Structure 1
Amino acid sequence: MGAMDVVLVHGIFDNGAVFRRLADALADAGHRCWVPALKPADGRTGIEDLVAKLHAYIDRHLGSDAEVALVGFRMGCIVSRYYLQMRDGVRRTKALNVATGPDPEVGDAPKPTLSTSGC
């Protein structure tokens, strides 16, 4: 897989700073990294609100047809999964990597329909 636009989705109580080292490493490997600030980062407005903000960020910064790789961390895993399934993100997402997210068998988050792949 060649250079990708990689969207790094932070978790609860976090911001893009949590990805500083990862973003640097991905950039050194030739990827373009995008780190939206999904606020409020405490989840008080619900996952759907954060998914809408992620969708708008990707469309605004990358265009509505750009292919992306998603990296979700903690709550960012859930936001990324919802984006794939509830906002048709699966159509344009070429890779999904999740770290320290909830067990997919727990809770009411939709089951992923995209296999996990490295970027």
Structure 2
Amino acid sequence: MSMATDLRAYRVYDDGAIEELGRVPTARLGELLAQAQAALHDRAHGIGLYRDQRDFLEARPAEDGGFAFHSDRLSRGSVLSRLSGRGAGLDFSVANVEQAVAAFVCYAGLARDSFERKAADFPKVR
């Protein structure tokens, strides 16, 4: 079984609501990201994929057509993560839907450590 089959998706709204989407095939990611772009001035939301409750990748649309990504791997054992609610996070940006899909596919297809090494090459969020 591939890692991608274990990933689930969700919408995270600016008002704090989260809508579970269940398992989403990578072929549908472009559609979900385009919907997030279209809702930028309506009920704004981002799209997220997660391996489990402590390992996720979220993309939020930007005004320029790109996406800002945030990814965390929360650690229960760390005192700092318990105090801050956060673990080792990654923040990067991409220019368009196609690059956003590629980032999600990379996350879905790689082990977390491999994804973190690959994401180090992505542009940083400004």
With normalisation by structure 1, the TM-score equals 0.35
Flag the structure with higher strand content: 2
Larger Rg: 2
With normalisation by structure 2, the TM-score equals 0.34
